[in-house]
Amino acid sequence: MKTSIIGYPRVGSLRELKFTTEKYFRGEISVEELQNTAKEIRKTQWTLQKNTGLDFIPSNDFSFYDMTLDTAVLFNIIPERYTKLGLSALDTYFAMARGYQGAAGDVKALAMKKWFNTNYHYMVPEIDDNTEIKLAGTKPFDEFAEAKALGITTKPVIIGAFTLLKLLRYVGKKQATDYADAVIAAYAGLLEKFVAAGAEWVQFDEPYLVHDLTSEDIALFETLYQGILAKKGSGKVLLQTYFGDVRDCYGNITALAFDGIGLDFLEGRKTKELVEANGFPQDKVLFAGLVNGKNIWKNHYGKTLEVINTLKAKNINVVLNTSCSLLHVPYTLKNETKLPEKYTEHFAFAEEKLQELAELKKLADVDYKLDAAFLENTSLFATRPDCRNNAVQERVAAIREEDFTRLPVFKEREAIQKKEFALPVFPTTTIGSFPQTADVKKNRTARRKGEISEEAYVEFNKKKIAEWVQIQKEIGLDVLVHGEFERNDMVEYFGEQLSGYLFTEKAWVQSYGTRCVKPPVIWGDVSREKPMTVDWSVYAQSLTKKPMKGMLTGPVTILNWSFPREDISLKESTYQIALAIRDEVLDLEANGIRVIQVDEAALREKLPLRRSDWYKEYLDWAIPAFRLVHSGVKAQTQIHTHMCYSEFTDIIRAIDDMDADVITFEASRSDLLILDSLKENHFKTEVGPGVYDIHSPRVPSVEEIKAALEKMLTRIAPEKLWVNPDCGLKTRGVPETVASLKHLVEAAKELRKEA
């Protein structure tokens, strides 16, 4: 049996690419230096993969920013406003990714969206009627040649034609089908070039196939691949799917001339059933996704081998694969020096997953039941130390129906709060964090390393809080925040104080571009030992009469941005966390904090890809979990929530059902659809659609913000509208933050005059 992976992380095991790219952005290093770092990372990874005995080694899974953007650029899908800047190819690419403001012009970045059901974000390429899709770039070929020069024949991976067309944003009149011929020609050209370069296999990633598909979708897919596969010559094509099963098109895809089909046996709940019921063509290779590309837990060899053997018994030609790209897991346990082995022996990151593949490969070809590696793996699953807390389990079991409902009802609360706070119309606020400047990070690092006393650490943060309270007052914001200087990120901070959590040192996972997150691990039952944020908020509130927002992360986001347990249900884990956050909310309220924001930045993250599963599999417990957090507060206490995206028109009722008083969300990069939908659905919650994009260093003008607000006012009642940026400002610099917020407040003030 052979082994394969779909892709590998690419930021470098110690985030080398991130740091080097950021240096390049700051103009501190040359493009050659950046390219060299990238090359070094690729070489290290290919060599590692080869040395572990991996049979199908991917290439072109590397990216300077994002693979969807890479694919768009490869096929010449570059909006004119970027080419017009006249920058180098790489800088044009970065301008699309991050926006550009400088001597050559001023353009915003492309939109960014969540990559399927992961916490990775991709750039949404934009296409207009004048775009000529053609094979224009050389990146995949260059990387293939680079590996070849190292003696490694890789399997190039590329986002497939169908998924690409489905992810594009069409800004002209033309639609996906209008581009079918051009796309076929471009992909066929790519295949020909790879065959000529000596590639044996080419992998086309088509995760879009795991959605609910229409018959038009399937027809488009068939048209595209009939065209592309006609040109494959002696090359072999692997159709790779992941994040679910292909129940809508299994028959269609197996009937096409693919040489291999990659199916996800883990998230694809119906995959096994599909293969067993319909069979699998003898002339194709089944790349069976059985090693989880998303979780950090060791593979259960017994279960995996059982599936492999069932497939083999059907005479299916099986290659053992990961369930999705390893992009979604950290690099290696070798960087973890502090966690006790009794825990880490249950873990497998990317590098360890390569080891698992190698081990499984050996076991699959022998009578494994008595093999030492197999027995060791089996015994591991029989033990899980320190994970049970009876008090927590009893508390979850005792939750009553009324614990999910806040009283009085929204309308009454809204009236009470309007009086209580007496804010101006279009109240201004921010989402929570202020720039995490070098000194802020240094203070936290010094504390972590024990280089400074707890007092010195707290003193520094208090100074920062005071500084920023002053800045906010001067700018004239209405509802203030303390700035989150104590937080590395919005989940780890809470996880560190909750019991049941484990922390890694270097287990970074790419979130978007150069941004990485280090999700904590939910190991056991979760509970709160003591207040987590009260001191900071109380101190910040003592500096101002204006309302100071308490700042918490919600249970669904904490769950979704952690590596979850697999031995209890997600629902149960989430309710445990919800009870802990509920205690914190009540403590904040008891200590004089009158506005409390509970971020649910990642609420949509685990929304099933198939609409039919949305409620019963997820929203039916995720939304109640949020309500459990705030149902105990007084009518006078204003509960805010925040989401990092605006695509919730389709779950708008569920969002309103969270029953928050105010919701802020990302909106500056998206169109008016969300506003239409708020209006149509008589959305009751007050809303702050972000007026400018915080992912980019650009400073929006007053006019621009005013124009955005005026647009919003065509759909949102003035008494419901809040004015705020898209998201937290932690990744921004100080000058641009202050300048942007001044413009924001100015825009709100001008609007008030006109109201």
The site string for Zn ion over 610-649 (x = CB under 5 A, - otherwise) reads ----------------------------------x-----
Contact partner, 599, from Zn ion, ligand GLN, none, Cβ < 5-8 Å per class:
ligand GLN
Handedness of CA 543, 547, 550, 551 (dihedral sign): negative
Nearer to ligand GLN, 98 or 298 (CB): 98
Least separation, in Å, of the C-beta of 14 and ligand GLN? 24
d(CA 625, CA 627): 5
The H-or-E segment that residue 710 falls in is helix 702-713
Using the contact rule CB under 6 A, the part of the chain among 20-28, 176-184, 430-438, 443-451 near ligand GLN is: 430-438
DSSP state of 209: G
Using the contact rule CB under 6 A, the part of the chain among 98-106, 122-130, 541-549, 727-735 near ligand GLN is: 727-735
Nearer to Zn ion, 336 or 599 (CB): 599
Using the contact rule CB under 5 A, the part of the chain among 49-57, 434-442, 587-595, 597-605 near Zn ion is: 597-605
- Answer yes or no whether residue 727 interacts with ligand GLN by CB under 6 A: yes
List 58's β-bridge partners, or say none. Answer: 155
Which residue from 549, 546, 539 is spatially nearest to 477, judged by alpha carbons?
Answer: 546
Contact partner, 361, from Zn ion, ligand GLN, none, Cβ < 5-8 Å per class:
none
- Cβ–Cβ < 8 Å for 235, 191: yes
Residue numbering of the annotated binding site for L-homocysteine: 431-433, 484, 599
d(CA 63, CA 108): 21
List 321's β-bridge partners, or say none. Answer: 289
Contact partner, 709, from Zn ion, ligand GLN, none, Cβ < 5-8 Å per class:
none
Nearer to ligand GLN, 321 or 537 (CB): 537
Contacts with ligand GLN by CB under 6 A: the residue count is 13
- Answer yes or no whether residue 431 interacts with ligand GLN by CB under 6 A: yes
Buried b (16+ CB within 10 A) or exposed e, 352-371: bbbebbbbbbebbeeebeee
- Cβ–Cβ < 8 Å for 337, 505: yes
Least separation, in Å, of the C-beta of 321 and ligand GLN? 32
Nearer to Zn ion, 120 or 404 (CB): 120
**In the block, residue with structure tokens 């290779």:** 285
Other Cβ atoms within 10 Å of 379 Cβ, number: 9
Nearer to ligand GLN, 447 or 642 (CB): 642
Residue number with the smallest Cβ distance to ligand GLN: 728
The site string for ligand GLN over 195-224 (x = CB under 6 A, - otherwise) reads ------------------------------
Least separation, in Å, of the C-beta of 487 and ligand GLN? 8
- Answer yes or no whether residue 727 interacts with Zn ion by CB under 5 A: yes
The site string for ligand GLN over 631-670 (x = CB under 6 A, - otherwise) reads -----------x-x--------------------------
The 3-state DSSP class for residue 458 equals: helix
Give the residue, chosen from 728, 737, 746, 747, that forms a contact with ligand GLN under the rule CB under 6 A.
728
The site string for ligand GLN over 588-607 (x = CB under 6 A, - otherwise) reads -----------x-x------
d(CA 52, CA 205): 24
Q: Are strands 515-517 and 509-512 parallel, antiparallel or unpaired?
A: antiparallel
Q: For residue 605, which amino acid is it?
A: E
d(CA 175, CA 166): 10
Residue 388 to residues 64, 130, 391: CA-CA distances in angstroms?
43, 60, 9
Using the contact rule CB under 5 A, the part of the chain among 136-144, 472-480, 512-520, 598-606 near Zn ion is: 598-606
Residue 481 to residues 434, 503, 703: CA-CA distances in angstroms?
9, 27, 25
d(CA 485, CA 462): 9
Q: For residue 643, which amino acid is it?
A: M
- Answer yes or no whether residue 433 interacts with ligand GLN by CB under 6 A: yes
Contact partner, 490, from ligand GLN, Zn ion, none, Cβ < 5-8 Å per class:
ligand GLN
Count the residues in the chain.
755
The site string for Zn ion over 644-673 (x = CB under 5 A, - otherwise) reads x-----------------------------
Q: Write out the catalytic residue numbers.
A: 695
Nearer to ligand GLN, 42 or 642 (CB): 642
Residue numbering of the annotated binding site: 15-18, 114, 119, 431-433, 484, 515-516, 561, 599, 605, 642, 644, 657, 666, 727
Q: Which tokens is 131 given?
A: 């775009």
Least separation, in Å, of the C-beta of 642 and ligand GLN? 5
The 3-state DSSP class for residue 606 equals: coil
- Answer yes or no whether residue 601 interacts with Zn ion by CB under 5 A: yes
Give the residue, chosen from 42, 98, 166, 730, that forms a contact with ligand GLN under the rule CB under 6 A.
730
The 3-state DSSP class for residue 595 equals: strand
Give the residue, chosen from 190, 263, 551, 598, that forms a contact with ligand GLN under the rule CB under 6 A.
551
Q: Which residues contact 613 (CB under 8 A, 6 or more apart)?
A: none
Q: Are strands 105-107 and 100-102 parallel, antiparallel or unpaired?
A: antiparallel
Contact partner, 433, from Zn ion, ligand GLN, none, Cβ < 5-8 Å per class:
ligand GLN
Backbone angles phi, psi at 67, to 5 degrees: -75, -25
Cis peptide before 408 (omega within 30 of 0): yes
Residue numbering of the annotated binding site for 5-methyltetrahydropteroyltri-L-glutamate: 15-18, 114, 119, 515-516, 561, 605
- Cβ–Cβ < 8 Å for 175, 216: no
Handedness of CA 679, 683, 684, 686 (dihedral sign): negative
List 479's β-bridge partners, or say none. Answer: 429
Contact partner, 584, from ligand GLN, Zn ion, none, Cβ < 5-8 Å per class:
none
Which residue from 437, 468, 410, 417 is spatially nearest to 660, judged by alpha carbons?
Answer: 410
Please list the alpha-helical segments (H only) found in 150-270: 161-167, 180-197, 215-229, 250-255
Nearer to ligand GLN, 156 or 554 (CB): 554
Least separation, in Å, of the C-beta of 481 and ligand GLN? 8
Nearer to Zn ion, 41 or 729 (CB): 729
Give the residue, chosen from 490, 491, 540, 751, that forms a contact with ligand GLN under the rule CB under 6 A.
490
Least separation, in Å, of the C-beta of 651 and Zn ion? 17
d(CA 574, CA 560): 9
Contact partner, 109, from ligand GLN, Zn ion, none, Cβ < 5-8 Å per class:
none
Handedness of CA 526, 529, 533, 534 (dihedral sign): positive
Q: Which of residues 695-724 bind Zn ion (CB under 5 A)?
A: none
Least separation, in Å, of the C-beta of 121 and ligand GLN? 11
Least separation, in Å, of the C-beta of 648 and Zn ion? 13
Binding site for ligand GLN (CB under 6 A): 431-433, 484, 490, 551, 599, 601, 642, 644, 727-728, 730
Binding site for Zn ion (CB under 5 A): 601, 644, 727
